[in-house]
Amino acid sequence: MIIPHRYKDLLSYEKKAFANLALVLKDGDPHVTPLWFDFDGKYILINSAVGRVKDKVMRRTKSVALSISDPDNPYRYIQIRGKVVTITEKKAREFIDHLSMKYTGELYIGYAGETRVTYKILPKLISYMG
């Protein structure tokens, strides 16, 4: 899936746009979480910790949706529906540090004893506005 050129800036490392991750819980209720993300040119990359709600849901069902608004113009956004294709703990701690540097300018402090996990999401459907 190709991201339109005029929206690629929303996915860039330089733009500190937050993604809102939408998931469906076991009981069918929706669950939305704002989070840090990165884009490697093909995949949306996010990070969490083992045992959190988003971790449990993405291990159970691979379908996700993300909405990313332009922090400079919230009426301009991109919506991405996709599938989680990889879940790994390998280099996940380094990746959360990478994300923390993007959004805060500092390394991630985190919580004692947490195990970080990185999720690779393949975009399947893209829509946009603004």
The parent domain of residue 92 ranges over 5-129
pLDDT given for residue 121 in this prediction: 98
pLDDT given for residue 99 in this prediction: 98
pLDDT given for residue 2 in this prediction: 85
pLDDT given for residue 106 in this prediction: 96
Quick check: helix, strand or coil at residue 91? coil
pLDDT given for residue 111 in this prediction: 79
pLDDT given for residue 30 in this prediction: 97
Q: What is the pTM of this model?
A: 0.94
Number of domains present in the structure of the chain: 1
45: CATH: 2.30.110.10
Which string of DSSP letters, residue by residue, matches 12-73? SSSS-PPEEEEEE-TTS-EEEEEE--EE-SS-EEEEEETTSHHHHHHHH--EEEEEEEETTE
pLDDT given for residue 59 in this prediction: 97
Mean pLDDT, contiguous 10-residue spans, the chain (130 residues): 91 97 97 98 97 97 97 96 98 97 94 93 96
